[in-house]
Structure formats: structure tokens, C-alpha cells
Amino acid sequence: MSDSDIPRWRRGDQIHWTYVNPAHPGLLDQRPVTVIADDDRHLAVWLESGTPMLHHVLADGRGIREADGPARFGAPRAQGLKTWQGAGIVAVFQPGKDYSVWFFETPAASAPQNPSRPQVPLPRRDSFYVNLETPFTRFETGILTSDHVLDIVVAADGSYSLKDEDELEFALEAGMFSPEQVARIRSAADGAIADIEAWTFPFDSAYTDFAPDPDWPLPSLPAEATWTYES
């Protein structure tokens, strides 16, 4: 079924936000989420604190980051289950864009106030995580994409920094990406940085002040989901 054949979701619908990794077929990073909005411009979802989610672990159940260097991407893996910790986040996906934008809550005590923007009560969801990834595609119960390792952290004042450049090199060494793919990922990061510097959508959107509907139930994984390790 193509994207155009799948009806748009409505606010409050529950879907599955899923990452696949071609280097580790059969394993998922899957997050049950609630739809905030879905239109021609974007899909916005809410990931609630306490949500159960599938993720990758090493074959012996240890966390991926316990592996060193290229082994972090090339070592055998297994399916794990964990719970999303910390505050909930808003994630925004735009058709054709090779990144998503995650809105994190900025604590009032540390959030800088930008004099060029209206002063508002804090905290807000105005620190951002730009996740480089393939443009999302839809399936019947959610969206599918693939993570590109490199990320960009954006502060409430619009300043930014690249994250996980070393891990991108490890992924290259492990054979997860080719040199040409790494070049395209870095080019996509440059495009995302241009959007950050221009402060285009969704950075300038009202999602910084989003509050979830208190009646939304906690989303769940598909009934057929299985895993080997639970943490």
C-alpha cells in the first residue's frame, strides 16, 4: 500500500513510530505514540513518559553503548524492551525531509531567554533534538524510517551543535554506511542547519507550548510484539 492510499490519522489516534536498521534485519526500535496533527505539511506525535518501547540491545542483553568503537554498530544484537524515561516529547516529521525534530522540555532554571522572541513563562518545549534519518513512510499502523546516527542538538536560544560525529565514523568503519552514504548524511545535516539558522518550521511553531490531552491513554506496542530482554 502506498503512502497516498493510507488515510491521514486524526488527533488522538495511536500509531507506531518505527526505526529499522538494514544492518540488523528483524529488529526494531518502535515507539507507540499519540497523533497530535497529520496534514500535508507534517505529522506531529506525542511520546508519553512511561511508554513501553522496543529497542536494540547487544546479543547478551547489554546496552548498545557498552560496546566500543565500530562494535557498537557491527556486533550482534537482540530485541529488547524498555520504558521511555523522563518527560514526554513532541516529534515532528515532514514529508521528504531527512530529519525529524523532537521537542524537549527546557527546565525554567536553565532555559535562556532570547530577547528577539516573546518572553513567556517557563518551562517550555524549546530545546530540540534534530534526528538525521530517512524520510518517513507510512504503513497501516504507523510510520517507518531508518536512523542516520548523526544528530544536531539545538538550544532554546537557537544555538546548535552536532552530536555523535564519532559514532558516524564508527558506523562507517563497521560497514553500516558507505563513504558515499556518510557524505549524503553530512549534506543532510548541512540542510538541517540551514533550516535551524533560518528558524523555519517546525522550530517556529506553537509546539513549544504543547500540552497533551489528559484523557489520552498510554499507547501500547502491537499485540504481536516480542523481545528477548527487558530493562
Domain ranges of the chain: 3-112+120-208
What's the confidence (pLDDT) of residue 86? 84
In DSSP terms, 59 is beta-bridged to none
Span 142-153, average pLDDT: 98
Span 18-34, average pLDDT: 96
**What span, in angstroms and rounded, lies between the C-alpha atoms of 22 and 35?**
27
CATH architecture for segment(s) 3-112+120-208:
Beta Barrel (2.40)
- Residue-averaged pLDDT of the chain: 92
Total Cβ atoms within 10 A of residue 95: 14
The CA-atom distances, in angstroms, between 47 and each of 79, 81, 99, 164 are 20, 16, 17, 23
Distance of CA 203 to the CA centre of its chain: 15
Q: Over 60: is that where the pLDDT of 45 sits?
A: yes
Helices (H), 9-134: 71-74
Predicted confidence (pLDDT) per residue in 202-211, tens digit: 999 999 999 9
What's the confidence (pLDDT) of residue 9? 97
φ, ψ for residue 4, nearest 5 deg: -70, -20
pTM above 0.75, yes or no: yes
Any idea how long the chain is? 231
What's the confidence (pLDDT) of residue 183? 98
Percentage of residues in the chain with pLDDT exceeding 70? 90
**What span, in angstroms and rounded, lies between the C-alpha atoms of 48 and 199?**
26
